[in-house]
Amino acid sequence: MSDAKIKSDDEWRAILNPEQFRVLRLKGTERAGTGEYEHNKATGVYSCAACDTPLYKSNTKFDSGCGWPAFYDAIPGAISRHEDLSLGTVRTEITCTACGGHLGHVFKGEGFKTPTDERHCVNSISLSFAAGDK
């Protein structure tokens, strides 16, 4: 993580709204079907809502029907993967490499017709979106 993007909890609370803090810093999850980007079809770039680091290009987003925005690949180096045993099963958590913010989880081998056979299931509240051909 970049030193410029490492902050204390108090600094993050000053930047993020309470729900963003709960998801990004405390590894929470927004309710399925409630996020603003789940059905977004615009062309652009999705960035970390905490530190504004570009994470996903819209051309990797697909409709998985899971209730959260789904992507099949991230911008190289933008996300980090971590083993997550929090629900008594092994999952792969994904975080912003730059600031450590919790994004969601990645699942493999579900049979989606994507180039990577991965589904990055990302909380909308962990993202910001900028339209355009970036």
Active-site residue 48, yes or no? no
**134 residues of the chain, pLDDT tens digit each:** 445 578 999 999 999 999 999 999 999 999 999 999 999 999 999 999 999 999 999 999 999 999 999 999 999 999 999 998 887 888 999 999 999 999 999 999 999 999 999 999 999 999 999 998 75
Determine the structural domain holding residue 115 and report its residue range: 3-29+43-131
Alpha-helical (H) ranges within 16-79 are 18-24
Whether residue 8 is contained in a domain is answered as yes
* pLDDT score for 1: 47
Whether residue 38 is contained in a domain is answered as no
CATH (domain of 126):
2.170.150.20
Whether residue 37 is contained in a domain is answered as no
Whether residue 36 is contained in a domain is answered as no
**CA angle 97-19-108, nearest 5°?**
45
* pLDDT score for 2: 45
- Determine which one of 48, 51, 96, 121 is catalytic: 121
Whether residue 34 is contained in a domain is answered as no
How many folded domains does the chain comprise? 1
Length of the chain: 134
* pLDDT score for 64: 94
